[in-house]
Amino acid sequence: MKKPDFHHALKIVREVCIGCTHCMNICPTEAIRVTNGKAVLIDNRCVDCGFCYRVCPVNAIIVEQDDFNRIFEYKTRVALVPSVMTGQFPDNITTRQIYSELMELGFTHVFEVEQGVEVLFEAMTEYLEKNSKTKPLISSFCPAIVRLIQVKFPALVDNIINLNPPLDISALYFREQLVDEGHDENDIGIFYITPCAAKIAAVKTPPGENDSPITGVINMNFIFNKVYTRIKQGTGDSCIVPDICSLSARSILWSLTNGESVHAGGRSMAVDEIHNVINFLEQLENEEIKDIDFLELRACDESCAGGVLTTANRFFTVERLKKRAARAVSDTEITDQEGKTGMFRHKEKLKKRMTVQPFEPRSMMKLDEDMSEALKKMKRVEEIGKCLPDVDCGACGSPNCRSFAEDIVQGYSKINQCVFVQRIFEKKGILSPEESINIMKGVWGNEKLDKNC
Amino acid sequence: MQFEYSIEGGNFSRAGYASSEVKKKLKQLNVDLQVIKRVVVALYEAEVNVVAHAYNGRMEVEIDKDKIKLALVDSGPGIPDIDKAMEEGYSTATPEVREMGFGAGMGLPNIKKNVDVLTINSVVGKGTTVQMITYI
Report pLDDT digits (tens) over A40-91. Answer: 999 889 999 999 999 999 999 999 999 999 999 999 999 999 999 999 999 8
Substitution target from A45, A281, A287, A290 for chain B, most B beta carbons within 10 A: A287
A360 assigned to some structural domain:
no
Instruction: Return all residues near A364 (Cβ < 8 A) that are at least 6 apart.
Output: A29, A44, A45, A151, A152
Answer whether residue A265 shows pLDDT above 90. no
Work out the end-to-end distance of chain A between its first and last CA atoms, rounded to an integer number of angstroms. Answer: 39
Task: Classify residue A162: in a domain, yes or no.
Answer: yes
Q: What is the mean pLDDT of residues A367-386?
A: 95
Q: How far apart, in Å, are the Cα atoms of B133 and each of A143, A335, B39, B42, B136?
A: 38, 55, 9, 10, 10
A172 phi, psi to nearest 5 deg: -60, -50
The DSSP code for A261 is G
Whole-angstrom distance, CA of residue A188 vs CA of residue A214: 10
As a whole number, mean pLDDT of residues A282-311 equals 93
A3 domain-assigned: no
Among B19, B20, B27, beta carbon nearest to A363 = B27
Q: Are residues A31 and A82 in the same domain?
A: no
By C-alpha distance, the chain B residue nearest A284 is B41
* Contact status of B25 with chain A (Cβ, < 8 Å): yes
Q: State the number of CA atoms in the 13 A half-sphere of B134 facing the CB.
A: 25
Are B33 and A361 a contacting pair at CB < 8 A?
yes
User: Bigger pLDDT: B91 or A425?
Assistant: A425
Tens-level pLDDT at each residue, chain B (136 residues): 899 999 999 999 888 899 999 999 999 999 998 899 999 999 999 999 899 889 999 999 999 999 999 999 999 999 888 888 887 777 777 777 777 766 666 678 888 889 999 999 999 999 999 999 999 8
**Percent of chain A whose pLDDT exceeds 90:** 71
A287 and B44: CB-CB below 8 Å?
yes
Cis check for the bond before A154: say yes or no (omega within 30 of 0).
Answer: no
> Are A134 and A261 members of one domain?
yes
Q: Do A113 and A175 fall into the same domain? A: yes
* Residue A236 pLDDT: 57
Do A91 and A172 have their domain in common? yes
When pLDDT is cut at 50, 70 and 90, the band that residue A390 belongs to is very high
pLDDT at A105: 93
Residue A263: inside a domain:
yes
A286–B16: do the CB atoms touch at under 8 Å? Answer: yes
In chain B the domains, ranked by start, together with CATH numbers, are 2-135 (3.30.565.10)
β-sheet bridge partners, residue A128 = none
* A137 lies in the same domain as A275: yes
Both A93 and A204 in one domain: the answer is yes
CB contacts of B64 in chain A (<8 Å) are: 375
Same-domain pairing of A203 and A291: yes
pLDDT-derived band at A34, boundaries 50, 70, 90: very high
Number of domains in chain A: 3
Asked if the structure places residue A358 within a domain, the reply is no
Rg (CA), chain A: 24
The answer to the question of residue A362 being in a domain is: no
- Which ranges constitute the DSSP H helices of A106-165? 117-130, 143-152
**A206 and A114 inside one domain:** yes
Using DSSP, state whether B92 is helix, strand or coil. Answer: coil
In the prediction, which pLDDT does A204 show? 82
Residue contact B29–A366, C-beta within 8 A = yes
| Residue A82: how many other CB atoms lie within 10 Å | 24
B44 touches chain A (CB under 8 A): yes
Same domain, A194 and A143: yes
Assess whether A342 and A390 both reside in one domain: no
A179 located within any domain: yes
* Contacts with B43 from chain A: Cβ below 8 Å: 286
Domain of A398 in residue numbering reads as 371-449
Structural domain contains residue A167: yes
The ipTM assigned to this model is 0.83
Can you give the CATH number for the domain in which A48 is found? 3.30.70.20
